[in-house]
Chains A and B, each alone.
Chain A
Amino acid sequence: MCRALLPALLILLCYSLPATAIELSVFAASSLTEAMTDVAKHYELQHPDVQIRLNFAGSQTLAMQIEQGAPAELFISASRPVMSRLQERDLVANVQPLLGNRLAVATRSDLQPPLNSLRDLTRPELLLVIGNPQVPIGAYTRKLFTNLTASPAFGSALVTQIKKNIVSEEGRVKAIIAKLLLGEADVGIVYQSDLTNSKLLSIAVPEKLNPRAIYQLAKTTETNHHSEQFYAFLRSSEATEIFRRFGFLPGSEL
């Protein structure tokens, strides 16, 4: 009996030992994966006593988790409606625009012949992958289609042609990138920040027609001194510089 209980007791003991570092739990939209990982690494180097636990997923999924009581101190959402919903339920406070992003049309590098302009998206048999309308990237993509339709240079016939090439609507922007990198899709509509450091080519989207994605930062209602500090760090020039390197627009330019 004793012999059986001993390991169990040891395991219990391990769990009850005080953690050496303070853990900060940060929920962030999945398009921020690389940038936030880098920002967190910088912060941890300066604050060895703090450990940042990052949870990346679609903004809506993260909001659901927060509503269900998941422990998060900070939340960065790529979707404003999602953030407003949490705000209405008093689950978050101090909502601030943190970053901006633009859409980019990405193509796999070995596509022959290469695409030169948005017009080429109408090429028959082109495999186009976009986000589904329920996730931020998909919603912004629809906005781009609306803008193209309204623009005299493009028009609705062209947009109808482009829409015919859609072969899949993904739930995460990273899934669009993956399909391009695998070579299964020819072209995808993603964020500009997804193109830095990747083996994809891009086509220019006219500045005027390109919708601006806005990421909002918020504290959840259970904050402490450490999360306040990280909140401030995210808005500092040091963090902004890192975000800029990953292709995001700083909040001050929004």
Chain B
Amino acid sequence: MKRPRLFNLFLLTCGTALGILILLPVLALLLAASPTGLLKLFTQPQVLQALWITLLSSLLALPMIFLLGLPSAYGLSRCSGRVRRSLEVLLELPMVMPPVVAGLALLLAFGRRGLLGDLLNGVGLRIPFTLGAVVLAIVFVITPFFVRRCVVLFDAIEQKLEEAALLLGATPLQTFWHVTLPVVRRGLFAEGVMALAQGVGLFGVIILFAGNLPGRTQTLSLAIYSAFESDPQQAFSLGALLLLISLLLLATVHLLAPPEGGR
């Protein structure tokens, strides 16, 4: 199993290059934003508003992601063969959709002239340009990722555990609630935080579907885009802030996630 030395050197070089490629821009952004600049952000009402909208929309999206995603993931993990493969392709569809296309698609579905436009109008609901649109966009983009990762969690559970519970007379719902869920609890928690981290950074789909209005639909990523037009320094600081939030969430994920990604 001994690899030739030259090959090892090649692997090391590529790995280092990739490491630098990832770390250099992150470092550059953090260096461009001075600590005082970062602190000054918290005195600006516009920034606090954007931060609030960002957190609020992600937190509102989270229960919906769990409600739709968790049962779907469990069901999918119990499927096999062709059914499972076609359902997985369906899940991948929003994942490979460019964000701008996703925004357009959402407008064409839920917009005023969209497929559901008349129906929503009938009940007096207007989704575009509201916080609801931000939440819906997050749920649309993030849930497939969430389901994909939860399926992996459920797949890793030993079938014997569930079979034993069923043999002992538990209903499938009881088995899911008392046996399956506790096993993947930590993993699910980590996936929830991961979904938050992903939702915080969305941009293209939100600016198209929800518009950009400070205090209503302007999240931090949209604020960065607006700030860049007049005050690049402000954009750098906001960028660093968003990056720090993401790093914090990422660290939480790894503290919570069970080692080796399994149980």
Q: In whole angstroms, what is the CA distance A127 to B129 when docked?
A: 9
A227 → B minimal CB distance (Å): 27
B33 to chain A, nearest CB (A): 17
Q: Which residue of A lies closest to B231 (CB)?
A: A134
Would you call B228 an interface residue if the criterion is a C-beta within 8 Å of the partner chain's C-beta atoms? Answer: yes
Chain A residue numbers with a CB within 8 Å of B128 are 184
In the assembled complex, the CB of A176 is this many whole angstroms from the nearest CB of chain B, namely 10
Chain A 88-127 interface mask (CB, 8 Å, partner B; 1/0) = 0000000000000000000000000000000000000001
A39 CB-CB contact with B under 8 Å: no
Interface string of B85-128 (1 = CB under 8 A from A): 00000000000000000000001000111000000000000001
Q: Which residue of A lies closest to B127 (CB)?
A: A184
CB <8 Å contact, A168 and B229? no
Interface assignment of B69: CB less than 8 Å from any CB of chain A: no
Chain A residues positioned under 8 Å from B216 (CB to CB):
167
B212 within 8 A of A: yes
Residues of B with C-beta under 8 A to A169: 211-214, 218, 226
Given contacts A182-B111, A184-B112, contact A132 B226 (CB under 8 A): yes
Cα separation A166 to B213 with both chains bound (whole Å): 8
| Residue of A135, A171, A184 contacting most chain B CB atoms (<10 Å) | A184
User: Among A3-11, A57-65, A213-221, which stretch is in contact with chain B?
Assistant: A57-65
A129 at the interface (CB under 8 A from B): yes
Q: Which of A129, A134, A170 contacts B230 (CB 8 A)?
A: A134
Q: Check if A183 is an interface residue, CB within 8 A of chain B.
A: yes
List B7-21 residues whose CB lies under 8 Å from chain A: none
Whole-angstrom distance between the Cβ of B110 and the nearest chain A Cβ: 10
Question: Contact mask A155-197 → B, CB, 8 Å, 1/0?
Answer: 0000000000011111100010001001111000000000000
Q: A183-B113, A184-B128, A184-B129 are in contact. Are A132 and B228 (CB under 8 A)?
A: no
Chain B positions 152-172 with a Cβ under 8 Å from a chain A Cβ: none
Say yes or no: A135 contacts B113, CB within 8 Å: no
Q: Are A183 and B112 in contact, CB atoms less than 8 angstroms apart?
A: yes
- Judge whether B140 is part of the interface by a CB distance below 8 angstroms: no
Assess whether B225 is in contact with A171, with CB atoms less than 8 Å apart. yes
| 0/1 string, A126-140, CB within 8 A of B gives 1 | 010100111100000
Cβ-defined partner of B228 (8 Å) among A60, A175, A179:
A60
**B227 contacts the other chain (CB 8 A):** yes
Residue contact B107 to A58, C-beta cutoff 8 Å: no
Contact B129 A168 (CB under 8 A): yes
Q: Is the CB of B229 within 8 A of A184?
A: no
Residue in A closest to B129 when the chains form the complex, CB atoms = A167
The answer to whether residues A171 and B232 also contact, given A127-B129, A184-B111 and a CB cut-off of 8 A, is no
Q: Say yes or no: is B180 at the interface (Cβ < 8 Å to chain A).
A: no
A166: nearest chain-B partner, CB-CB = B213
Total number of B residues with any Cβ neighbor in A under 8 Å: 22
Q: How far is the CA of A66 from the CA of B187 in the complex (A)?
A: 47
Tell me the bound Cα distance from A62 to B213 in angstroms. Answer: 24
Given contacts A183-B112, A183-B113, A184-B128, contact A61 B213 (CB under 8 A): no
For B218, give the chain A residue with the smallest CB separation.
A169
- Is B237 an interface position by the 8 A CB rule? no
Pick the most buried of A60, A127, A167, A175: most chain B CB atoms within 10 A of its CB. A167
Contact with A along B208-243 (1 / 0, CB 8 A): 000111101110000001111111100000000000
For A133, the chain B residues whose CB sits under 8 A away are 230
Once the chains bind, are A132 and B212 in contact (CB under 8 Å)?
A: yes
| A64 partner residues in chain B, CB cutoff 8 A | 228, 232
Whether B129 pairs with A60 at a CB distance below 8 angstroms is no
Q: Does B129 contact A171, Cβ atoms closer than 8 Å? A: no
Smallest CB separation, B185 vs chain A (Å):
41
Q: Which residues of A lie under 8 Å from residue B217 when comparing CB positions? A: 168
Residue of B nearest to A64 (CB): B232
Q: Is the CB of A171 within 8 A of B113?
A: no
A192-B218 Cα distance, complex, nearest whole Å: 27
Among candidates B111, B207, B213, B227, residue contacting A134 with C-beta atoms closer than 8 Å: B227
Taking CB as reference atom, which chain B residue is nearest A131? B229
Known: A182-B111, A182-B113. A167 touches B213 (CB 8 A): yes
9 new A-B contacts, CB < 8 A, other than A134-B227, A135-B230, A169-B212, are: A64-B228, A133-B230, A134-B228, A167-B129, A168-B129, A168-B212, A169-B218, A171-B207, A184-B111
Residues of B within 8 A of A (CB): 107, 111-113, 128-129, 207, 211-214, 216-218, 225-232
Q: 3 tightest CB-CB pairs across the interface, nearest first? A: A168-B211, A134-B230, A134-B229
